Structures are given as C-alpha cells and as structure tokens.
Amino acid sequence: MNPTIRAVIDTAALRHNLGRVRELAPRSKVLAVIKANAYGHGSVPSAVALAGADGFAVARLEEAVALRAAGLRHRIVLLEGVFGTDGLRQAAHHRLDLCVHEPEQLAMLDAWRGDHEFSVWVKVDTGMNRLGFKPAQFPRALSRLSACAAVAKPLTLVTHLANADDRDDATTREQLDLFGRLTAGVPGERSIANSAGTLGWEASRADWVRPGLMLYGVSPFSDTTGQGLGLRPAMRLETTVIAVKDVEAGERVGYGGAWTAPRRSRLAVAAAGYGDGYPRNTPSGTPVLVNEQRAELVGRVSMDMITIDVTHLPRVLVGDVVVLWGGGVPVEQVARAAGTIPYELICGVSQRVHLDVR
Ligand SMILES: Cc1ncc(COP(=O)(O)O)c(C=O)c1O
C-alpha cells in the first residue's frame, strides 16, 4: 500500500538542475548545498543524484558524517565549521573541509597537534552580519591561518550574499566590491554565489558557486518560479483523499468554522496537515490538485487533515491523489499564500512524510 502522504523526489530533476547550474556558471566548480536533509529531499539520495557536483556543503558535522557513512567521497564543506577539539578530531577523521569564521576557531586550529591538514574556507562578512570575520579582522585572520601548520594552503576565500534575491538591491554590488578589495592579491579560490547569485549576479560566479535552492528546482526570486528559470521542481508533496462529504450553503467547515460554504458544496478531506509540514496558516483559496485538476483549500489546516472544495470536479473518491505542491502547484505559490518562503516549506516536510525517491 502507498503511504498516505509522500514527498516524491525526482532525481532526474536534481540532475537537470545541476546541469542548469553548469550552464549558467561554466567556469565555476559547484558546491552543492545539501544541508537540512537536502532541503527536505533526503540528503543521501540527493547527494547520490548530485554526484556530478564538485563537492557538497552541509551546516553540521552530523550531516557530513551521514554522507561519509553512506560512502560519499566528495569534498564536504562544513559551512559553520566546528567548535571544540572533538569536532576537529571528527572533521579530520572524515576528511571534512572547514569553514573558519570566528577567532575561537583560529585558536582551535593553532592548538591542533594531529597530523591532518585541514582544507579551510575562510569567511569574511561583507555585509550579511551573520558568520564571517569583519573586514577589519580579516587580514589578521588570513595571516594567522597562513601561518598555522594545521591548515592546508592556499585557503579558499568565501563570503555570503545577503540580498541577492533582489536584483535591484545595491547591497550585492557593495558586497562584491568589498570582497574584491579585501581579497585582492590573496592566493586561493573564491566562493560567493548562492542560488540567487548564480542565477542573477554574473560577477558573483567565482571559482566555486554554492547553490542550494535552485538544485531542488525552486526559485529564490519572489517574482518567478523555478520553471520560469529553466529548473525542474524535484519534490512533489502528495497525499490521498480520506473522506468525501457534502455540506449545505451556510454550513461552516473545520476548526473555528473559518470557511462558510457559499452554496451546497462537496468537500474532499485529504490526509495532510501541519503535522506533515503543510503550514497551518495556508489560507482558503490556496490551490491544490485533485486527480490532476485544480481545486482550492477551504477552512483551517489541522494537524493531519485539510479540506478541499471539489464541488466543480466530476467524481472524487476516497483514495484519489491530491498534490499539495510540485507538478502543477508551484511551491513558490503555496509559500507566498502561507506568508513564508519556499525554503521553509520544503525543509519543513516532517518525519512522518514518506520520501519516495524516484
Ligand atoms: C553559506 C551558504 N552558502 C550557500 C547557501 C545556499 O543558498 P541557496 O539555497 O539560497 O542557494 C547557503 C544556504 O543558506 C549558505 O548558508
């Protein structure tokens, strides 16, 4: 029996999207960002599908260890680096590249006495004000790392863009200029672009691009979908109808009676709710597909169920397939309706959703 709710993962779409990155950035190496369970797509199967990338990036040590345990031998970069000697020991054991963004991490590397040389991606904060050495600290960080016996040379020089998803925002240009000034004459490869940089800012496609979202076929820009950018959505979240019922005009539906039937209506109850990662604040009117035909969510999303107005559809039966996003329902559209971003929806698919990797 099919599991009630499943995220169908299209590995051919992942490969296609990697190909799109290669087209856009033919001179760059690709560090495929597969943190957070590959944005909900399953980290190991996604890594296997994206094996043509030049390396992988994850946020946390455990994510990298899981990839090594699955036999992946690519370069793996820990985007947050490690803290503490135990983390460093594990990074050495699993041959992980480290992002270094913090003075404590410099001290830790200085104190390292093992024989492993770490490949280091040193990060400068050019305006994001999250991770990275401040511009004033950066030259000192570079000279300490250059003098550190535990660090392989040359370093890779990294920054992260804060606003690249807004093609009119001057911040990206300022970040690129500052990064250029701070790294002028410093040996080593450069890495700047996330998906929005890769797609929208040619000057950010340096030696390494670091796409995440676009690999999953989703747009980082709010005015278009992945499809509009030549990408193919890799996740289809689908479930089944578990009840069909009629309500009279004026009857209220679901918790809080948040939707009132404007006419005699037929409703399909589908097995999906915020317990699966379908956001509770998704409003009435948000599109879904029932048997590949468009219908609308009505009433409040509960933990395990949603209600869909199927009055206009010919015959809807228990067991029919409902698509919540992917295919004809762009996740970007659902995210906008729910007042969030597509990153949050795909990453937020919960553990009880079966990943059906194809
Ligand atoms: C440092 C870094 N690089 C690249 C990415 C990939 O970003 P995106 O998914 O927008 O392509 C992320 C994701 O948040 C990141 O933190």
Question: Encoding tokens for residue 242?
Answer: 């578990």
Taking the centre of ligand 1 as the mean of its atom positions, its distance from the CA of residue 256, in whole angstroms, is 39
Does residue 213's CB lie within 6 angstroms of at least one atom of ligand 1?
yes
Distance of alpha carbon 133 from alpha carbon 139, whole angstroms: 9
What is the separation, in whole angstroms, between the first and last Cα of the chain? 17
User: 269: which 2 tokens?
Assistant: 């109850």
Domains of the chain (ranges, CATH numbers): 11-218 (3.20.20.10), 235-357 (2.40.37.10)
CA-wise closest residue to 205 among 7, 13, 28, 22: 28
- The atom number, within ligand 1, closest to the CA of 213 reads 9
CA distances from 137 to 103, 144, 191, 234 (A): 9, 11, 19, 41
Burial class (CB in 10 A: 0-12, 13-18, 19+), 358: exposed
Tell which atom from ligand 1 comes closest to the C-alpha of 210.
4
Residue whose token pair is 């029996």: 1
What does the mean pLDDT of the chain come to?
Answer: 97
CB proximity list for 181: less than 8 A, separation 6 or greater: none
The number of the ligand 1 atom at minimal distance from the alpha carbon of 123 is 1
Neighbours of 211 (CB within 10 A): 28
- Distance, in Å, from the CA atom of 125 to the CA atom of 33, rounded to the nearest integer, reads 19
**Residues 303-344: tens digit of each pLDDT:** 999 999 999 999 999 999 999 999 899 999 999 999 999 999
Distance 224 CA to ligand 1 centre (A): 19
**Alpha-carbon span 10 to 327, nearest angstrom:** 11
Expressed in angstroms and rounded, the spacing between residue 1 Cα and the centre of ligand 1 is 37
Q: Which residues are catalytic?
A: 35, 255
Residues 6+ apart with CB under 8 A from 296: 284, 285, 286, 287, 288, 308, 309
Across the chain, which has 358 residues, the per-10-residue mean pLDDT values are 85 98 98 98 98 98 98 98 95 98 96 95 97 98 97 98 96 98 98 98 97 98 96 98 98 96 98 98 98 98 98 97 96 98 98 97
Expressed in angstroms and rounded, the spacing between residue 234 Cα and the centre of ligand 1 is: 18
For the question of whether the overall pTM of this predicted structure is more than 0.75, the answer is yes
For atom 14 of ligand 1, the residue with the nearest CA is 212
Q: Is there a contact between 47 and 31 (Cβ–Cβ < 8 Å)?
A: no
pLDDT digits (tens, 9 = 90+) for 55-79: 999 999 999 999 999 999 999 999 9
